[in-house]
């Protein structure tokens, strides 16, 4: 099977019975191409015997991601970022989409973010892509799930040392 056939036979990650045009909250993950460590560098300093404090130094790409997320509603009125974190090879964010103010899809929002960041970066060209082709999204279905995803985002830098991609 060649690459073209694999692309056409990809499994659709979207829920069949969910209306993506309705207002909702989503948990999004976007990865660097080839999971390269290009967005940030996380180092640790110990605090006490059992607690560590991560220091997350953003690269040029990481700064562009941060700025783009924090200013997303200038591109998309009715779209709001709740929590986010920029990791060495990926970033997570929770996004709220108010369908009264916008009709744009989550795919369009993420595509625009990736495009803006790539165009503003010094190395983002068609031959030097910085993002993986797609992204991961999850519809947030309850306040409890929202709480847990917020905690996951906030604690993500602390857990980086235990990630399978750490020190690779």
- In CATH terms, the fold of domain 18-162 is Alpha-Beta Plaits (3.30.70)
Which comes out higher in pLDDT, residue 7 or 67? Answer: 67
Q: What is the mean pLDDT of the chain?
A: 84
Q: What ranges do the domains of the chain cover?
A: 18-162
| Pick from 152, 112, 153: nearest CA to 131 | 112
Q: What's the CA angle centered on 128, arms 108 and 28, to 5 degrees? A: 35
Most confident range (mean pLDDT) of 131-135, 149-153, 160-164 is 149-153
Q: Around 16, how many Cα atoms within 13 Å sit in the side-chain half-sphere?
A: 1
The model carries a pTM of 0.81
- The Cα–Cα gap between 166 and 146 comes to 26
Q: For residue 153, is pLDDT > 90?
A: yes
Which comes out higher in pLDDT, residue 62 or 99? Answer: 62
Mean pLDDT, residues 8-23? 59
pLDDT tens per residue, range 116-143: 999 888 655 555 789 998 999 999 989 9
- Least confident range of 15-19, 113-117, 136-140: 15-19
Q: For residue 49, is pLDDT > 90?
A: no
């Amino acid at each position: 099977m060649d690459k073209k056939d694999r692309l056409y036979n990809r499994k659709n990650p979207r829920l069949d019975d969910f209306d993506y045009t309705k207002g909702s909250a989503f948990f999004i993950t976007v990865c660097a191409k080839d999971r390269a460590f290009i967005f940030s560098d996380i180092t640790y300093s110990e605090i006490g015997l059992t607690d560590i404090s991560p220091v997350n130094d953003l690269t040029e790409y990481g700064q562009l991601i941060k700025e783009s997320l924090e200013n997303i509603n200038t591109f998309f009125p009715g779209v709001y970022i709740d929590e986010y974190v920029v990791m060495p090879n990926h970033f997570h964010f929770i996004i709220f989409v108010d369908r009264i103010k916008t009709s744009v899809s989550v795919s369009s929002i993420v595509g625009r973010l990736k495009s803006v960041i790539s165009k503003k970066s010094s190395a983002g060209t068609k031959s030097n892509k910085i993002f993986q082709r797609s992204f991961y999204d999850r519809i947030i279905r309850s306040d409890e799930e929202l709480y847990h995803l917020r905690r996951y985002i906030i604690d993500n830098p602390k857990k980086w040392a235990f990630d399978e991609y750490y020190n690779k």
